[in-house]
Amino acid sequence: MSEMNLHPATPEIEAVRAQLQQARGKQFWRSLDQLVDTPAFRELVAREFPQGASELADPVSRRTFLKLMGASLALAGLSGCTFAIKQPQEQVAPFARAPRDQIPGIPNYYATAVMLDGFALGVTVKSREGRPTKIEGNPVHPASLGATDAFAQAELLALYDPDRPETVRRSGLLSTWETFVGAITETLQVQRALQGQGLRLLTPTVTSPTLRAQINELLTNFPAARWIQYDPIGRSNTYAGTRLAFGSPYEPRYNFAEADVVLALDADFVSEGPGRVRYARDLMQRRRVRKETSAMSRLYVAEPVFSPTGAIADHRLAVSAGMVGQLAAAIATQLGVTAVAPATGLNEAQQQWVAAVVADLRRAGNRAVVVVGEAQPPVVHAIAHAINLQLGAVGTTVEYTEPVAQPSDPQDLVTLVNDLRAGSVELLVIIDSNPAFTAPADLGFAEA
C-alpha cells in the first residue's frame, strides 16, 4: 500500500519551513504571516499602522513644539539687531547738571500709596531713570506691612498700558488742551449764572484731602451742582448694616491677630475689600505654629462660591447666598441674641455645622469674630454685629470707626441717569470712572 499524505503542504507552509530553516539564532514573531513577511502582509501593516500615526492625532507634537520655540527664540534675538532696519538719528548729550539722587543703572525707591475704592495701600516703587519697574509693599505701612496683592501689581501695568489716551479728543476727533479749556470755561461761565443747576460731577469714592478740598471749593462756587460718587463694588451694604445695628454708618475694622475663632459668612476678606492685605497677613500669622505652646486659630467659612478664604478654612460649608442669612440667624439665636427672627430651612448637616460653630464661638468669647461679605444684605451685617457684641469682641477683635469717606448712595447714579434723560444736565464731568462700562446694564447709562 502506498503512503498517503493527509496534510499536503501548501505554499504558505512551505514558505514558513523555508524561513525556519534559514533562521540563525532566536527569532520572535507575532504571527506566521509576520514570519513569512509577504508583500501582501507588508501592505496590510502599512495601511493599518501608518508611520507616525501617534503624531497625527496630536496637533502640536513635541518635535513641532521644539521647532517652533527654537524659531521664536531666533527671531527674538534678531529683533535686537538693527543692521537691516534704518534707525532714526538721535542726539546723545550729557546732563549739564545731573539730577539729584539719580545715577544711571542704580534704581531709586519711593514710598507712595495705591488707591482702590478710596482706601490706600502703602507701597514702595522701584524706579530706574524715572521709569517705575516694580511695586512692593511698604514694611512700615500698617495696611501692607511689606506685602502687596494683585491689584497693587496691576497698577504698574496700567502705567504702560498702550491703550491709555495720549491726546485730547472731542467727538472722536483730535483736539488740544487749549480747545478743551476754552470749551469748558465757556460752559462754566453759563453755569455760574445758574449756580450750577446743569452741572454734575461723577467720581469714584474720593478720600484724598486735596481732591476733596478742590471739589468742595467747586461746589461752593456752584451751589446747585451735584457731586455723585459711584463705585462698581461699593460698601453700601456694610454701611447700611452698621446703620441698622448702631443708628449711624461705621467702618468695621477687624483684628485677626487676636482672634482664636473666625467665622466668615460669604466674606472673602483675604482677597477682597479694604484691609485685605493686612487681614491675610494677620490671619496667617495665627495659623503658623512656631512653638509647642502656640495655639492656631480656627476658621469657619460658609459661602456660595469657592474663594481664597474658603480654600484655607478649617471647616467650609457650601450654601446658597440666600441661606447665609438663615445660618447667621441660627447662630445668633443659639448665642442668646434677641430680636432676631428664628432661622428656617436648615437641613441636618447645616444644623450640625451651626452647633459646632456656636460651641467654638462661645468657648472663644471675646477672642472670636464674625465677618460678613459685602454681597450679603444689610440685615445679615446687622446680625453679625449683634453676635460680636454678644461675644464681647468689640474692642478686642473688631472696632468701629468713622467711615473714611462719606458713604455714597447707589440711588444717586439712578438720579443722574434720570436727569440725563430729562435733559437737565448741561455739563457732566467724569473723573477716573467709566460708568458706561461699570454701571448696571439695565440702568442704560450709555444710552442716556
Digit-coded pLDDT (tens) for 119-130: 889 999 999 888
Q: What is the mean pLDDT of residues 322-338?
A: 94
- pLDDT number for residue 355: 95
Among the four given CATH numbers 3.40.50.1370, 3.40.228.10, 3.40.50.720, 3.40.640.10, the one describing domain 236-401: 3.40.228.10
Q: Which residues of 248-257 are buried (b: 16+ CB within 10 A; e: fewer)?
A: ebbbbebbbe
- pLDDT number for residue 119: 86
Q: Using one digit for the tens of pLDDT, what is the confidence trace for 406-415? A: 777 778 899 9
Confidence of residue 76 (pLDDT cuts 50, 70, 90): low
Q: What is the mean pLDDT of residues 207-232?
A: 91
Rounded Cα distance, 78 and 242, in Å:
62
Residue 134 DSSP class: E
Q: What SS3 class is residue 126?
A: strand
Q: Taking all residues of the chain, what is their mean pLDDT, rounded to a whole number?
A: 85
C-beta of residue 260 within 8 angstroms of C-beta of residue 367: yes
Q: Using one digit for the tens of pLDDT, what is the confidence trace for 147-186? A: 999 989 988 888 888 888 888 888 888 889 999 999 999 9
Q: Which residue has the higher pLDDT, 163 or 225?
A: 225
Per-residue pLDDT at 41 exceeds 80: no
User: Which range has the top average pLDDT, 39-43, 162-166, 351-355?
Assistant: 351-355
- DSSP of 278-305, one letter per residue? HHHHHHHHHT---STT----EEEEEESS
Sheet holding 427-430, edge to edge: 226-229, 199-203, 427-430
- pLDDT number for residue 4: 45
Per-residue pLDDT at 328 exceeds 50: yes
Confidence of residue 87 (pLDDT cuts 50, 70, 90): low
Q: What is the mean pLDDT of residues 245-256?
A: 94
Rounded Cα distance, 257 and 259, in Å:
6
Per-residue pLDDT at 1 exceeds 50: no
75 burial type by CB count under 10 A (0-12 exposed, 13-18 middle, 19+ buried): exposed
- pLDDT number for residue 278: 93
In the 3-class helix/strand/coil scheme, how is 12-71 assigned residue by residue? Answer: HHHHHHHHHHHCCCCCCCCCHHHHHCCHHHHHHHHHHCCCCHHHHCCCCCHHHHHHHHHH
Give bridge partners of residue 253 from the DSSP assignment: 399
Confidence of residue 7 (pLDDT cuts 50, 70, 90): very low
Residues of the chain with CATH 3.40.228.10: 236-401
Q: What SS3 class is residue 179?
A: helix
Residues of the chain with CATH 2.20.25: 108-159
**What element of type H or E holds 13?**
helix 11-22
Q: Using one digit for the tens of pLDDT, what is the confidence trace for 199-217? A: 999 998 888 889 999 999 9
Length of the chain, in residues: 448
Confidence of residue 316 (pLDDT cuts 50, 70, 90): very high
Per-residue pLDDT at 359 exceeds 90: yes
Q: Confirm or reject CATH 2.60.40 for domain 108-159, answering yes or no.
A: no
C-beta of residue 314 within 8 angstroms of C-beta of residue 299: yes
Residue 195 DSSP class: T
- pLDDT number for residue 394: 95
Q: Which residue has the higher pLDDT, 60 or 256?
A: 256
Give bridge partners of residue 119 from the DSSP assignment: 116
Q: Which residue has the higher pLDDT, 129 or 257?
A: 257
- pLDDT number for residue 51: 60
Per-residue pLDDT at 10 exceeds 60: no
Confidence of residue 55 (pLDDT cuts 50, 70, 90): low
Q: What is the mean pLDDT of residues 88-115?
A: 83
Q: Which residue has the higher pLDDT, 359 or 207?
A: 359
